[in-house]
Amino acid sequence: MNGVLVVDKPTGITSQVVINAVRKVTGERRVGHCGTLDPLASGVLPIMVGKATKACELLMDHEKTYTASVRLGVTTDTEDVTGQVLTRFDGALPPFERFREVAETFCGEIEQVPPMYSALKRNGQKLVDLARQGVTVERAPRKVTVHSLRAYEQDGELRLDVRCSRGTYIRTLCADIGASLGCGACMQSLRRTSVGRFTLAQSIPLDELRSASPERVEQALLSPEELFVDLPEVALPPFFARLFGNGETILCGKVRSSLPTGLTEGSLFRTHAPDGRFLVGQVAKMDENLYISAKIFF
């Protein structure tokens, strides 16, 4: 099997458990995900199966959307409710309107200090492993982008709907909002509702996947081409298409009329070889000239 399974991950398990389940139901050892979800989090987890695993590195930059609930007045070492409590606020908690007002100031490009309880590495060691040993290291702030943020109340909880860039930690966002309010906060729950163009509507719950028939798994498996439908499509002349399909690098000037405007160094595009194989190409610069080369074959 080759393609993408959009799994609705439940809370309480790691992303690796989902990987193992997909390996079992597909019989395919080449399985990977594009962006892990913590055990506390649920929701969209795109799983690459077979040849689609080649695409993982190209999909890490996709925007993501989340729904989170926030608990005011409590801070923890993990910045969510699973951690050890560090402080409790004794005063009156701010009203919702104040929470909304402060939360919305975090929309746009912001800086975050990555949490110690994260998979980021320092000298080859994951920060989370160091944190569990009681070790804290300095982390430089990183720029991330919150494209949109909506704060609201639902079922007695303070909630955030967030659309953000790669590398944004929602629990850190919750903690930073709490710090700005002066009462502290931590993330109570988190549900990822989309990764790029993959949404909950396309997902299959993990429990359903585990008991699914081979036909149902095939039905849920999306073509690798689905990963790249947002890239510009290039139709090369037959001669150059054969060369490109054989892995040859081609000077852009020779096929300029076939290339869409706006392609620059590093730009990705999609195309097909004469034998029907799907390819992802990239523009590269060598000796001051632009070339196109095949990056991934399917």
Helix or strand run (H / E) with residue 177: helix 170-181
Q: Is 90 a catalytic residue?
A: no
Q: Is 93 helix (H, G, I), strand (E, B) or coil?
A: coil
CA atoms within 13 A of residue 33's CA, in its CB half-sphere: 22
Q: Are the beta carbons of 25 and 229 closer than 8 angstroms? A: no
Which of the 8 DSSP states describes residue 276? S
Q: Distance (Å, rounded) from C-alpha 281 to C-alpha 273?
A: 11
208-238: burial string, b at 16+ Cβ within 10 Å, e else: ebeebeeeebeebbbebbbbbeebeebebee
Q: Distance (Å, rounded) from C-alpha 239 to C-alpha 258?
A: 13
Quick one: tokens of 158? 């303070």
Q: Catalytic one among 8, 38, 80, 176?
A: 38
Widest distance between CA atoms in the chain: 74
Burial category of 128 from C-beta neighbours within 10 Å (exposed 0-12, middle 13-18, buried 19 and up)? middle
The set of catalytic residues is: 38
